[in-house]
């Protein structure tokens, strides 16, 4: 069903039902945009729809970013409903952190399929619509593209792939579509989970203090950068990877 969108810009946020994506949804709605929550978790997405109904037009579209038919249907529903697409945020992501000896091929494939292939599929099927609006894509990588803890092979590889896919897409889709990537460090998402899992952050003083800025990150820190990167103010920025980590990747730690 077509909805009168009053000429507002339209953003799809994959995995927008919880965490960073949910905070970005709130910020974009507050800025007057229409937001599509592309989620695999219906309960989380329905909560966002009802919590943010007063902020603007927010629509849940069921989507599994690993499934090309589902991604195609997501784009069709968005265009049939709102007639345009201005922003794609490839945010849906999972991890399977365990020692490589215990990491099954199924788990490896699931992480790569969600994080990396999902970013590819959504970008592929959004690109023609974004090109019509001089739109932009924001990909979510991680500081794991640059540094590691033990036992994070699948996640780190997927995020490194996203950083490279970002500059590849920027070259292929320019000048009509800009494509940038954000690499967050520790972002505390507990208060942004669906009700069943929502809780206050349990961060110790030492955990915050170790960051050069003196605290861990919040989803709002990422939302601020997304708002800037999708705006005309960022018109000369594409193919870039922005590290948002309170300075942790710049800090030498030798014992």
Ligand X SMILES: NC(=O)c1ccc[n+]([C@@H]2O[C@H](COP(=O)([O-])OP(=O)(O)OC[C@H]3O[C@@H](n4cnc5c(N)ncnc54)[C@H](O)[C@@H]3O)[C@@H](O)[C@H]2O)c1
DSSP 8-state secondary structure symbol assigned to residue 217: B
* Min separation Cβ 11 and ligand X, Å: 15
User: Do 178 and 217 touch, CB atoms closer than 8 A?
Assistant: no
The upper half-sphere exposure of residue 163, i.e. CA atoms within 13 Å in the direction of its Cβ, equals 17
The reply to whether 19 sits near ligand X by the rule CB under 6 A is yes
Bin 103: left if φ > 0, else alpha if -120 < ψ < 50, else beta. Answer: beta
Two tokens, residue 5: 């969108």
The reply to whether 140 sits near ligand X by the rule CB under 6 A is yes
The reply to whether 63 sits near ligand X by the rule CB under 6 A is yes
Give residues 141-160 in contact with ligand X (rule: CB under 6 A).
Answer: 142
The reply to whether 87 sits near ligand X by the rule CB under 6 A is no
* Min separation Cβ 47 and ligand X, Å: 10
The reply to whether 166 sits near ligand X by the rule CB under 6 A is no
Single residue of 87, 189, 223, 243 touching ligand X by CB under 6 A: 189
* Min separation Cβ 248 and ligand X, Å: 11
The reply to whether 47 sits near ligand X by the rule CB under 6 A is no
User: What's the rounded Cα separation, in Å, for the pair 154 and 173?
Assistant: 27
Among the listed residues 52, 60, 155, 254, the single catalytic one is: 155
- The β-bridge partners of 243 are 183
Residue 155 falls in the annotated catalytic set: yes
User: Between 118 and 246, whose beta carbon lies closer to ligand X?
Assistant: 118
DSSP code string of 232-247: GGGTT--S-EEEESTT
Contacts of 50 (CB under 8 A, 6+ apart): none
Provide the binding-site residues for ligand X, judged by CB under 6 A. 14-15, 17-21, 39-41, 44, 63-66, 91-94, 114, 118, 140, 142, 184, 186-187, 189
Which residue numbers are catalytic? 155
């Amino acid at each position: 069903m077509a909805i009168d969108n009053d000429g507002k810009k339209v953003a799809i946020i994959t995995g927008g039902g919880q965490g960073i994506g949910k905070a970005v949804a709130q910020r974009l709605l507050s800025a007057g945009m229409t937001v599509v929550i592309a989620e695999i978790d219906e309960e989380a997405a329905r909560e966002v729809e009802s919590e943010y109904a007063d902020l603007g037009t927010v629509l849940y579209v069921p989507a599994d970013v690993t499934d090309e038919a589902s991604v195609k249907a997501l784009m069709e529903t968005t265009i049939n409903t709102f007639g345009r697409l201005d922003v794609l945020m490839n945010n849906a992501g999972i991890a399977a952190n365990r020692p490589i000896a215990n990491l099954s091929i199924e788990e490896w494939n699931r992480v790569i399929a969600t994080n990396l292939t999902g970013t590819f599929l959504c970008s592929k099927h959004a690109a023609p619509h974004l090109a019509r609006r001089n739109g932009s894509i924001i990909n979510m990588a991680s500081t794991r593209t640059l540094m590691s803890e033990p036992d994070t092979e699948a996640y780190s590889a997927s995020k490194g792939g996203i950083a490279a896919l970002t500059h590849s897409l920027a070259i292929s889709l320019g000048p009509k579509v800009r494509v940038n990537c954000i690499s967050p460090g520790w972002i505390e998402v507990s208060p942004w989970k669906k009700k069943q899992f929502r809780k206050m952050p349990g961060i110790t003083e030492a955990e915050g203090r170790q960051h050069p800025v003196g605290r861990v990150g919040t989803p709002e820190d990422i939302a601020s950068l997304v708002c800037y990167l999708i705006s005309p103010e960022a018109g000369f920025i594409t193919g870039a990877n922005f590290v948002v980590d309170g300075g942790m990747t710049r800090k030498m730690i030798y014992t």
